[in-house]
Every structure is written in structure tokens, then in C-alpha cells.
Chains A and B, each alone.
Chain A
Amino acid sequence: MPANPFNGFTEYGVGIGLRVPHYRHILAKKPVVDWFEIISENFMVDGGRPLEVLDSILEQYRVVQHGVAIYFGSAEKLNQEHLKRLKRLVKRTKTPWLSDHLCWGSVDGRYTHDLLPMPYTFAVARHTAEKIRAAGDYLEVPVCVENVSSYAEYHASEMTEWEFLSEVVELADCGILLDVNNIYVSSKNHNFDPYDYLNNVPHHRVGQIHIAGHSKFEKYLLDTHDHPVLDPVWQMYGHALKLVGNSATLLEWDDRIPSFDEVHNEALKANKFRDQQLATSAA
């Protein structure tokens, strides 16, 4: 179900994250890219060069918004000023859907600028879902929530992460941005089978997929987005495609960013991989 209510009934292919070091190359060379994902907060500004670049990109490319700071899982209420700015940007980009993370990151008006894991309880799921619903109603655009990679689990949790994700998206009636790399990273950090995760989320709600690279440390994996996608993640991506269909996919590369061509080649690899997987499934 590639086109579904959660991605605005679109059929996008493989996209690339729009990053500052690539602006000049993209605007000058106009490479063929199916769509760009932008970090919403980088463009929720009042003026200046960020918006000028964005407008130039919008003249030639399709853009999807991805946020890092709504913090659906924070105990505090939604930040109305944040939402107001986000809605202004939604109108500018005409994003067919937008995404943010199933996480928390602020408390009492203080911000950690991180994507912190949630305690997986029913009460927290209800609270989070209410906020997602309210945000979607206000923004008037489908919302997908992304599973984050994590390095810690809480004693208070009452269910698995994929059960929590499923509970939240069903209560909120929203989409999922399925980050395959994050599932892999968390599975290694928390000793679960990543395929249990993939197999047990509501596949019809997946509006988009993320793939990325990560780093291996002695005792844990870190979601660094500074490498090409690693083999186990490609395998999981293939499995995810069989479960959810030809879903829009974004290749993330956010740190130690190489040349545009290198990132583009990795996206083309993903495109080819996706076509092969879907052809195999069809056969």
C-alpha cells in the first residue's frame, strides 16, 4: 500500500535529505532527485537565506517535511508557537505529509535537543496519541511518527516498543515513518529480534521508510547517520518492502556529510534495491 492516507495518497520514490553542504551543488547542477526531505525546524525561521534556498528548491523539487522537535512524548502540552510556525511552513512547502519522532525531548520549557525514548505504558500511549491527533488536526496534513533508536529502556515500561508504537498510531489514527536502521540499532542495544518489530507493526499505516548508516561501539550501536547503509539494514529494508509495499524511502546522511554525488549514489542504490525487491515479491 504505497499510497495511503498517511502519506497523502502519494507514490514517492527514494528521496534524499536536503543538507547545507549540498545547497550549492543542487541549485547549480539540478540533479534528478525524486524528492527532498527537509528538517522542518531549519526552515521555521522568519527570513533570510534558509527560506530563499527553500523557495529555490521548491521551484524544482518535491519536498517532504521531517521534524525533530514537536516532542509528542513530552509530558507538557504542544507548543502552540512551534505549531504555528510549522503550519506556516506546511503551507509554503505543500508537503503531502509530515513526520516527527515518537519521543520526548523537553520538560518545563527546557530543551535537550535529543530524541529521547519513551516509557512504554498505556497511559503514556494515550497521552502521546492525543497530542499527535491535536497536531494533525491543527496542521491539516497527515502525520507520521518515526520510531527512534535508543540506548536505554525504562523499568516502568509495560510493553515492547513495537507494541507501544502500534498502540499510539492506532489511538492517534496516524501514520508510521518506519526507520529500519533505528529498529536495527535498538534491537542490538536491547537484545530483541528486529524482525519481530517489522512483522508486528500495522503495515497499512506505514507512510514512509528511513534507511541510514550507524556506528558500532564496543558495547552498543549508535545511530550516527554518518556511514553508508550497512548490510543487515539493507536486508531489513527488503523485508519491510515486502510487508508494506513500494513505500516512499528516504536515505539519511546527517553527519560527516560527503559530496552530494556520494549521497546520491547511495540513494540510487536504494532505488535499484527497492525495484529488485518489489520485482521479487511480485514474482
Chain B
Amino acid sequence: MKPSKPTNSATNSSPRAPRKIGSPEELRELQRVMASALFRPLTPHWGMQKRWIDGSRMDDVAAEFIKPNDRLSSFERLEIYNRQYWFRVLDCLYDDYPGLRAIVGGRKFMKLITAYLTRYPSNSYTLRDLGNRLEQFLREEPHWTAPRGELAIDMARFEWAQVVAFDGPSGPSVAPDDILDTSPAKLRLGLQPYLSLLELNYAVDDFLIAVKKRESDVLRGEASNAMDSAPTVRAHRKRIRPPKREKVYLAVHRYNNMLFYKRLDWEAFAILTALNRGATVQDSCAEAVTASNRTKIDWPAQIKEWFDNWSALGWFCRLS
């Protein structure tokens, strides 16, 4: 979904709520103020910030558009929503990124994703997409993950690929009959949109398996609008040693609607990447074999085995 362009009053200035709401434009102004208040990070004590964007007292800003009651000030009533917003989004990313959390540590992870969501508030109606710009953010602000920036980016890519594999779209599968009469020199195959091919510098797959084994109680969160407590940096557990640097080629996919990740040889990865680029089967294979530094391989037999396997996994689909 393409978000509409934020306006100055939504992002750069210090919006204030109109006194009367007599038109959709005035409604929009009110909603900009309230959303801006909600998107502002909480204090270390999980409260709303005392000062507004322009430095004025938040008490005064809230009182301009929120009524107090006999128990709660305008500030306190707005603070309930500010807290609920952050509890919900932090909890969601806490569950979706256990690997990244294990790499940077629980407390730093909370600060990192708070900074991420402050810079990139959700642009989708579904919490599923909340991490869709996390990789970009980690590249833009490497200080959050130093000295393990590259490892953190690998893990963020890997964990986002799992979101895509879980419920991403699938294309119509290619049956053997569909391609029987087509020469490899002309045959082009699509790859399922839910399949991600990752070239990684660390074995994040093994690391994540170890993390999940440790945190077997981590469950995928479900959309809920009921939250009542702050996400916590959960109990300290035995630290898992970060993976050593090594080149890993990974396919993240689903089979029978179950999530899997599969290590690939470099040549296999190169063939799939070339197919995904739109190259013919013949060119993809030739390109990979030519660039390979491995010898004594029966390439025709090896490539046939790979294609049989990928076909059985349902990775090929018709090109749109």
C-alpha cells in the first residue's frame, strides 16, 4: 500500500488542535495532533513526554483538545492512548524479531525499535507489516547495532523473509507438462513471491534456531486491540554465542503452509537468482557453472537434482 505523503503539519511543525471540528479538514488537523502525540516515544518510566514538539507544556497542549474528568487530567487521558500505542507496537516487534533481539540484547532492542518506529511509523493497516522498513533503518542508523551491524542486518532480512513466507502470495505452480516442450534456451521460470533468496554473511539460521529453542514460549502475536501492560525485557536467559562470519546462501519458503529455510550451494543460489531476474533456464545455469570455482562436479546431474527438488517444493510459478 502506498502511504499518502505526510504534510508539514504532520511531521515537521508543532501541530495544534482546532477548537471546532466542522469539516473533514478540521478533523484531519485534530487527528494529526493526536497521532503526533501517540507516536512520540514514552519516557523511561513508560509515561508521556512532558513537553510538546515545540517545547511547550504537554499539559497545555492536551488540555486544548481533551477534556479532563474528575479523576484524570487531559494529559493523563491522552497518556493512556500514548502508552497503548507503544505497548502494542513494541510487543509486536518483540515477538517478530527474536533473533535481532538476541543479537543486540533486550534493552537495546527496545530502544532500537522505538527509534525505528519514531522514524518510520506504521504505514500499513496490519501489524504484520510493522517491520517492513527495519532493514532500511538499520542501514541508515548503524550505531544502534554496532559492532554487530552486518549480523543485525542479516538477521533483520532473515526475519522479515519469514513474515513474507508465512502468508505472502503464491503464483500458479508450473507443472512438468507446462514446460515439456520448451527448450531451456527459451524457458523462463518465475519463483514464488513468498520465496526469499538471501545471501548472508553469517549463519543466522542456526543462530535463530538456537534462540527459538531457548525461547520456546515465543508465539506469533495476533492482532488485538486490547493491551494493558508494558512489554518487558523478559527474564534473562543463558546467552547464545553470536555466529561467526561465514557466507551462507539461504532460501526462506513455505511447504504445505509450514515455514522452512533451506541452505543452498552458491551455484544453486546463483541459478535461482538469475531465474528470478528473468534469465532463461539455460543462461541461468551456464552463468552459475561458468562462475563456479568448484571442479569435479557432474553439473548436468547436479542441476537436474536441484531442479527436481525445487519443483517438488513448488518454488516455480508461471511468469506474470
Bound-state CA distance A225–B1 (Å) is 30
Residues from chain B with a CB closer than 8 A to the CB of A110 are 3, 6, 10, 35, 39, 121-123
Residues from chain A with a CB closer than 8 A to the CB of B38 are 112, 114
Residues from chain B with a CB closer than 8 A to the CB of A49 are 166-167, 254, 257-258
- Residues A114 and B81 in contact, CB atoms below 8 Å apart: yes
How many chain A residues touch B (CB < 8 A): the figure is 59
Bound-state CA distance A20–B220 (Å) is 9
- Residues A48 and B24 in contact, CB atoms below 8 Å apart: no
Picked from B21, B220, B228, the residue with its CB within 8 Å of the CB of A123 is B21
Bound-state CA distance A156–B27 (Å) is 10
- Residues B194 and A47 in contact, CB atoms below 8 Å apart: yes
Bound-state CA distance A153–B165 (Å) is 42
Shortest distance in angstroms between B78's beta carbon and chain A's nearest beta carbon? 6
Bound-state CA distance A81–B129 (Å) is 15
Residues from chain A with a CB closer than 8 A to the CB of B219 are 20-21
How many chain B residues touch A (CB < 8 A): the figure is 73
Is residue A139 contacting chain B, with contact meaning CB distance below 8 A? no
Is residue A231 contacting chain B, with contact meaning CB distance below 8 A? no
Is residue B290 contacting chain A, with contact meaning CB distance below 8 A? no
Residues from chain A with a CB closer than 8 A to the CB of B77 are 151-153
Residues from chain A with a CB closer than 8 A to the CB of B223 are 39, 41-42, 68, 113
Residues from chain A with a CB closer than 8 A to the CB of B225 are 68, 113-115, 254
- Residues B228 and A215 in contact, CB atoms below 8 Å apart: yes
Is residue B70 contacting chain A, with contact meaning CB distance below 8 A? yes
Picked from A21, A69, A107, A152, the residue with its CB within 8 Å of the CB of B32 is A107
- Residues B85 and A113 in contact, CB atoms below 8 Å apart: yes
Q: Mark B54-73, 1 if CB is under 8 A from A, else 0.
A: 00000000001111011110
Is residue B222 contacting chain A, with contact meaning CB distance below 8 A? yes
Residues from chain A with a CB closer than 8 A to the CB of B124 are 111
A255 touching B228 in the complex, CB below 8 Å, given contacts A41-B126, A75-B28, A109-B6: yes
Bound-state CA distance A45–B193 (Å) is 13
Shortest distance in angstroms between A214's beta carbon and chain B's nearest beta carbon? 9
Is residue A46 contacting chain B, with contact meaning CB distance below 8 A? yes
Considering residues B23, B31, B84, B227, which has the most beta carbons from chain A within 10 angstroms of its beta carbon? B31
Is residue B201 contacting chain A, with contact meaning CB distance below 8 A? no
Is residue A106 contacting chain B, with contact meaning CB distance below 8 A? yes
- Residues A45 and B67 in contact, CB atoms below 8 Å apart: no
Residues from chain B with a CB closer than 8 A to the CB of A52 are 257
Residues from chain B with a CB closer than 8 A to the CB of A190 are 69
Bound-state CA distance A151–B73 (Å) is 11
7 A-B residue pairs with CB within 8 Å: A21-B219, A49-B254, A108-B35, A111-B122, A114-B38, A115-B225, A224-B228
What would 8 more interface pairs be, CB under 8 Å, given A39-B223, A46-B168, A114-B225? A47-B167, A49-B166, A108-B5, A110-B123, A116-B31, A123-B24, A151-B77, A222-B80
